[in-house]
């Protein structure tokens, strides 16, 4: 992974009529990374992707892919010639067959790899004669992925690549993605609700909430930063304030007090020892914990 950024946004705003979908989004996706883009429904993930691909124009702020602007006609075409996009719905032309849409897509990408095409047709068990109209969601996803992986793209932008897929197919998809990054010197930017999958293959993540980035960085570093400290008391847990720096949240339920800390675990433990809990446990935090904490509304 180099220091080059493949995707970069700065203070990105996007307003659709009355709705502010993006409110000052900052994003940096390093070259060669597998970047997980997380957020609740409606947080702005799909809007971000649309802006990056030149499908929607930003209201304010900057967005660059390969250092180029997606909304100038020429650089937009340049970018899209080096990018592969798979949408959330995986909609394709239902008046074509699998073979026809492959031929159609291939005509736009001079770096198309026919060997990979054959490989994926076999691996995904796709028959070229089948009409796209009758395909199941899983099969459509595989076709869409094949179209994305064979074109020699430097950047894959995937919106929920495994949604609606059974675990076996989802694993096939993840495997294809992992293989692609290893072999092709490319970057993958994908949004997903499947946090365990993101933890499995992503090396960087960003969490967005209401159009803004709330968490961003290398996944290992993020996980190492956060710790969950659980205190059990003999009686009702006291309603305390934790002053140690890095304390993210304190939750009280019955006899249990749970503290989420970003980088300040030992300081927290030192502070709460004074309250004489019956036990203190420090447990590692999963991406799901970080996600749920980050997207809580600040009420």
Partner 1 sequence: MLWHKAWLETRWRFISALLILTVLAGGNVYDYIAAQRLLPRLNATTTTPAAEATGLGDALREAIELQKNFRGFIWYQAFRQNLTQMGVFFAILLGCGGLLSESSKGSALFTLSLPVTRRRLLGARAGAGLAQWLAVSMIAPLSIPILAPSIGEHFSIVDALAHGLCVFFVGAVFFSLASFLSTLFGDIWRPLLIAIGIACGLAIVSFASPQLAIFSVMDGESYFRNGTLPWAGLLTSAVLATALLYSAAETLERRDF
Partner 2 sequence: MILLKPNPSSGVPIYLQLMEQVKHAIETGALKAGEQLPSIRPLAEELVVNPNTVAKAYRELEHEGVIELRQGAGAFVSDTATTKRDAEKLKAAKVLVAQGIERLRARGITDEEIRRLVEAELAGITEGKRRE
User: Which of 61, 76, 68 is closest to 7 using CA atoms?
Assistant: 68
Phi, psi of 29 (to 5 degrees): -110, 115
> Of the ranges 87-95, 242-250, 262-270, 291-299, which one interacts with partner 1 (CB under 8 A)?
87-95
Residues ≥6 apart with Cβ < 8 Å to 106: 112, 117, 150, 151
52 makes contact, choosing from partner 2, partner 1, none, with CB < 5 to 8 Å by partner type, with none
19-30, strands of its sheet edge to edge: 19-30, 5-16, 60-65
249 makes contact, choosing from partner 1, partner 2, none, with CB < 5 to 8 Å by partner type, with none
Cβ at position 174, least distance to partner 2 in Å: 5
Contact between 263 and partner 1 by CB under 8 A: the answer reads no
Rounded to the nearest 10°, the torsion over CA 262, 267, 269, 272 is: -110
Among 88, 100, 199, 271, binds partner 2 (CB under 8 A): 199
- Here's the x/- map for partner 2, 25-54, by CB under 8 A: it reads as -------xxx--------------------
Q: Are the CB atoms for 177 and 141 separated by under 8 Å?
A: no
Cβ at position 197, least distance to partner 2 in Å: 8
Q: Which is nearer to partner 1, 189 or 226 (CB)?
A: 189
Angstrom distance (rounded) from CA 146 to CA 266:
48
179 makes contact, choosing from partner 2, partner 1, none, with CB < 5 to 8 Å by partner type, with partner 2
Angstrom distance (rounded) from CA 278 to CA 233:
5
Burial class (CB in 10 A: 0-12, 13-18, 19+), 123: middle
Cβ at position 18, least distance to partner 1 in Å: 14
> Of the ranges 21-29, 117-125, 151-159, 172-180, which one interacts with partner 2 (CB under 8 A)?
172-180
User: H helices then E strands: how many in the chain?
Assistant: 10, 13
244 makes contact, choosing from partner 2, partner 1, none, with CB < 5 to 8 Å by partner type, with none
Q: Which residue has the tokens 């493949």?
A: 6
Q: Which is nearer to partner 1, 64 or 80 (CB)?
A: 80
User: Which of 141, 159, 163, 155 is closest to 44 using CA atoms?
Assistant: 159
Among 23, 50, 180, 228, binds partner 1 (CB under 8 A): 50
Angstrom distance (rounded) from CA 102 to CA 79:
20
Contact between 32 and partner 1 by CB under 8 A: the answer reads no
- Here's the x/- map for partner 2, 235-274, by CB under 8 A: it reads as ------------------------------xx--x---x-
Among 129, 134, 183, 274, binds partner 2 (CB under 8 A): 183
Contacting positions for partner 2 (CB under 8 A) = 1, 32-34, 171, 174-175, 178-179, 181-183, 196, 199-203, 220, 223-224, 234, 265-266, 269, 273, 277-288
């Amino acid at each position: 992974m180099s220091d080059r950024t493949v995707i970069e946004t700065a203070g990105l705003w996007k307003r659709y009529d009355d709705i502010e979908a993006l409110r000052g989004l900052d994003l940096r996706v390093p070259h060669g990374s597998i970047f997980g883009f997380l957020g609740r429904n409606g947080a702005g993930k799909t809007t971000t992707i649309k802006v990056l691909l030149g499908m929607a124009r930003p209201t304010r702020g900057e967005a660059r892919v390969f250092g180029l602007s997606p909304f100038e006609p020429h650089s937009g075409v340049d970018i899209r010639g080096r990018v592969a996009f798979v949408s959330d719905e995986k909609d394709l032309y239902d008046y074509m067959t699998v073979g026809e849409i492959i031929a159609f897509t291939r005509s736009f990408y001079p770096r198309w790899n026919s060997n990979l095409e054959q490989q994926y047709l076999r691996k995904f068990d796709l028959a070229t004669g089948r009409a796209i109209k009758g395909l199941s969601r899983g099969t459509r996803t595989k076709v869409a992925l094949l179209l994305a992986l064979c074109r020699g793209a430097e950047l894959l932008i995937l919106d929920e690549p495994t949604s609606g897929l059974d675990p076996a197919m989802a694993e096939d998809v993840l495997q294809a993605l992992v293989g692609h990054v290893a072999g092709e010197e490319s970057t993958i930017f994908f949004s997903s609700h499947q946090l365990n999958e993101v933890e499995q293959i992503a090396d960087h993540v960003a969490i967005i909430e209401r159009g803004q980035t709330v968490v961003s960085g290398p996944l290992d570093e993020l996980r190492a930063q956060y710790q969950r400290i659980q205190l059990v008391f003999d009686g009702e847990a006291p309603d305390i304030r934790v002053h140690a720096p890095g304390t993210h949240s304190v939750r009280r339920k019955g006899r249990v007090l749970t503290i989420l800390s970003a980088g300040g675990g030992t300081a927290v433990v030192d502070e709460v020892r004074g309250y004489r809990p019956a036990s203190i446990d420090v447990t590692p935090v999963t991406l799901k914990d970080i996600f749920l904490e980050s997207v809580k509304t600040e009420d």
